[in-house]
Structures are given as C-alpha cells and as structure tokens.
Structure 1
Amino acid sequence: MKFDSPLFDRIRVKPERDRTTATGPTCEWPGCSCVATHRAPKGRTQAREYWRFCLDHVREYNQNYNFFAGMTDSAVEQYQKDALTGHRPTWKLGLAGNPRTRRFRPDQIFGGDPNDPFDLYGELGGRKPDPAQARAEQERRTVRNAERKALGTLGLDAGVGRTEIKSRFKELVKRHHPDANGGDRGSEDKLREILEAYNYLKSTGMV
C-alpha cells in the first residue's frame, strides 16, 4: 500500500489536510530539492565532515563510497595492519632503544644479567648476590618453614631438643590411637598428621 493512497488517509489519525510537511536542509545531491534527512562522510582525508543527502541519494552514495580511494595496494595493506594496534607505534620486546629494556632477554644477546635485568644493584652501588648462594638460602628457608610446620603439628616450638620431640610424639600417639579410644577412629586423620610430622623431623636429623 502506498503512503499517499486514499485508503491510507482513512486509517490515519489525521488526514492529509492536517499533516505538516517536514522541513530542513536541502539535499546536497546535484539537482535534488528533497529534504536532507541523512548524512554521509566526505572521505578519508576529511574527517568529521559530512554531506547531507535525502534517503535515496544517501543509499546511492554509500553503494559507491570507497574509504581507500586514491591509495595504493601496499598503502591499504599497511593501513589495515596499523589498525590492529590503533595506529600506534609498536616494537618487539627487548629491541627498544633503552638499554635497560634490552636486558630482559635471558639469552644475554645484549650482555644483560638475567638475575638483575634492571641493574638495581649496580645503580645503588651494592654487590650483586651470588645466584648459587641465593638458591641455597631459599632452600634453607624452605626447610626451616617445613620444620616449623612439623613442630607445630606436634605442639612444639622451634629450638626444642630431640628428647622433647620423642616424648611429645609418644604422648600424642597414645592419645589419638584408636586402641586408646575404645576403637574410635575419629582421630585417625590427626594421628596420620602426627606420624608424618615426626617422620619428617626424623629425616632431617632432629630426632
């Protein structure tokens, strides 16, 4: 059904004589005097500038619009590649001009120290730690933490002697063993933790 048909006028709220004609800027298409209801970009080199067209002419314009008009194939390819990063400069990790950033490479191609990539010890005038010594210290720290945890399971503090550990172990085994609880197995998990802690202390030579 056409909008200007007599049937359409009968079912509208207001008939043709009561309608108001839309007003606005005129379509910029050559030879067109219709109202410009849509806008279209003028081109890649004219950002934020638009033509004002009517519906028919904006459709025709969009069908023939080419954002890359006037660009070579290589330029189009480069533009699409740069669009992936928002047209911002990029570089490979470790290849920037700053010598400190180049020291991130663990293969030491640029002569950097992987244990101190920012050269913090050199800037502060300090002595760089020995990697082997640092690893040994970390292992000792781990062992101390494990020993402290095992002693805590037995309810003991760090620094206790071998006799105290054995005495405490025997006391806890008697307390949590099922035979000492009338066959109740509710303390089996606790007994298992006590045995594991004691065996660990035994393996370290503390017992």
Structure 2
Amino acid sequence: MNTARMHGKIEGATGRCDVPGCTGVGEYKAPIQPANFDGPGEWRMLCLDHVRQHNSKYNYFEGMSPDEISEAQGPLAGWQRPSRRFAHAADPMPAWSDFSDPLDAIAASFRRADRGPPQRFTPNEKRALGTLGLADDADLHSVRKRYSQLVRRFHPDRNGGDRSHEKKLGQVIDAWQTLKAARAFAD
C-alpha cells in the first residue's frame, strides 16, 4: 500500500498505539472526543487499523433530528453566514441618460482623468443645494433638516395665511425632490 496517500499520518512517529494490548506504531492522531472541536483538543496516537475503527464510529448526524439532517444535507448548507457589503467604486460611471450618444458615455469615463476629481452633484443638484442655502459638502441629514426649516418658514399656515412666499416654498419643495433622489445620497 502506498503510504504517501494516507492522510493524517505523522511521519517519523515511533510511539506505540494508545489502544491497550496493541503493538502497532501509533502514526495517526485521533481526537479523544470527536464531537469537541472547540480549540486544539486532546489527541491520542493510533495505528492504521485502530484509526480506521475509530473513524468508522464517527457519525456527523448523531443527535440531529430528521429535519436537521435534511437541512445539513441540502445544497445551501453552510451558506447562512452573513456577508460583507461591497464597497462602492470611488469613481462611479456616468448615467446613460446624461448622454445623447452612447459612445460619448464611454468616452466620458476616459476624459474623467483630465477633468480632475469627479463631481459629487450634477449641475441641477447644485442649483437645488443653492436654493436650500447649502454647500457641496452637505449630507442627506443636513439637507432634510434645512428643507424642514425652510418649509416651516415659507408655508402659509405658519405665516398667518401670507401667500407671498408660495413661489419660494415651491422652489424649496422642488429642491428637496431633486436632492432626495441624488446619486450622492444613494448609499
């Protein structure tokens, strides 16, 4: 028999098999408690015949209900672990709707290096930020907070029925509709 194919064999082991009365060389590690895989555990050295006997007694499904066995044998067994979210690309591709010619959209990704860092907001979104009186570094929370402040200021119900600010209120609402859908806040 080719001993190079015998997995788990400890080369150069000279001690005797740990089974009482056995005179074979203990060349294979076998856990004393097969169900205890927490940490390195305790091992005993067995000869080939006794390690085969030890392994034949091992039953992974011992103590499981039929439903648990069926679930463990299913194709999704072991895939229930949570996974990390992928990070967003540092330089997102432009939207196809921003271009009239598809080849221009492809070329835009190459021109981006010439233009410097990518812009966080589109020109329309920058106008909306200006309407709210915010800078380009605003986050969604500050946009929402400023929107609430301006709606309270310009709404006729808060001004004793004064409708002179209705146009400004409409601009604030339009700015909010534009910004809440901005790609910069898509995360």
> Normalising by the residue count of structure 1, what TM-score does the alignment of the two structures yield?
0.33
> Normalising by the residue count of structure 2, what TM-score does the alignment of the two structures yield?
0.36
Q: With CA pairs under 8 Å and 6+ residues apart, which has the higher RCO, 1 or 2?
A: 2
